[in-house]
Amino acid sequence: MRLAYVDCFSGASGDMLLGACLDCGVPLKELRQALAGLPLTGYDLRSEQVRRGGLRATKVYVDLAGKEQPDRRLADILTLIDKSTLSQRVKDESRRVFQALAEAEAAVHGTTVESVHFHEVGAVDSIVDVVGTVAALERLGVARLECSPLTEGRGWVETAHGRLPVPVPATAQLIRGVPVHQVEAEGELLTPTGAALLVTLAGRFGPFPEMRAESVGYGAGSRELAGQPNVLRLFVGETEEAWLADEVVVLETNLDDTTGETIGHLSGLLLEEGALDVFLIPIQMKKQRPGVLLSVLAPPEKARPLEQIIFRHTGTFGIRWRRASRHVLAREHKVVETEFGPVRIKVGRLGSDVVVRAPEYEDCARLAQSKAVPLKSVYESAQAAARKLGAGGASPSSEEGSA
């Protein structure tokens, strides 16, 4: 499996990540061609070799044509992405990054995601950094991204919202649940764009993985730092692991005074807000009370918001936390045609071998209702079509992921 590891010992920003991808071998011409599919004009993308603290690195520049750029909302940026000719994977992952940025901005400014006005991160250079990084990782063939613990500096930074402490509020919101440490360097080392890219795309934060590194790239930051090189290092290579590995947070609480209706409603809310799974186990509690053990599997960055939902909708006074490592199959979605209509198939791969082909329940249920046939009939038809995937005829609807 193709693996990339981000070593951000001097922080991370969108242009540093993009520079590191170019330094690992992505031709600038090919990146320009990919970004040309984005309906965004008035800029030129270039790169040059620079030195930071004695290390050679690639610095990326987005030169604007002089026209003032508008403040954009999330919907504006998502429209740009949707109208592009980028691959579906690049579209989906770019959307996720900007969604994470919008949620962070909305949280710190006390507004809604739809109302957030992007300033720095809505500018052309930030859009190019995000979409360009995702496109460059695809060009490198990366199936999985992992990252070192994040690094941040100290002090203050000037922004469109005035003078703010480091990490700036949006970055602080994004890095919840992720290992971070501060160094003595003054100023911002981890930008909101860099944090959003890594928190969204990385499947694990931790030490260097077991891999055979084939290329090492360095992306340069904009300034010199005292005592350390201001660069981000990217390793790209192969790993023998046939599965993907990541970390989840397990939230658990015992409930003995919450109605079944409330628990059912809560389970739906948790899944809508990003829980990976929600399950219930009957238990016997103190004073011989029958109760329910509520267990929630959450991505680390979603654990705090999901915890708040549990507190608000139950009578619990405490929630247990623990981190758990898990191995998951690389997965993708494909669409098959059945006698009842199209159905998405979730395909699970162990290395290069397909070991699971599972029809999506929602598609099968929708067709069963619209065609007035048993759900079992639609499901069996979809399974039969899924077994023929190896012979072609199915169109991919998304790329591999680890969630």
DSSP 28-59: HHHHHHHHTTSS--SEEEEEEEEEETTEEEEE
How many Å is the maximal CA-CA distance in the chain? 73
Question: Pick from 189, 207, 238: which residue ends a domain?
Answer: 238
Expressed as residue numbers, the domain containing 64 is 2-238
This prediction has a pTM of 0.68
Residue 323: per-residue pLDDT: 86
Residue 173 predicted with pLDDT over 70: yes
| Alpha-carbon span 252 to 297, nearest angstrom | 9
| Alpha-carbon span 364 to 367, nearest angstrom | 5
DSSP 130: H
What CATH number did the domain enclosing 287 receive? 3.30.70.1380
Co-location of 203 and 348 in the same domain:
no
Co-location of 51 and 188 in the same domain:
yes
DSSP 220: E
Q: What does the pLDDT average to over 310-328?
A: 90
> For 7, phi and psi rounded to 5 degrees?
-105, 100
> For 171, phi and psi rounded to 5 degrees?
-65, -45
Co-location of 167 and 301 in the same domain:
no
**Mean pLDDT, the chain, whole residue set:** 89
Question: Pick from 327, 361, 392: which residue ends a domain?
Answer: 327
- State pLDDT tens for residues 338-382: 999 999 998 887 766 788 899 999 999 999 999 999 999 999 999
Co-location of 151 and 233 in the same domain:
yes
Question: Pick from 327, 356, 381: which residue ends a domain?
Answer: 327
Give the pLDDT band (50/70/90) at residue 327.
confident
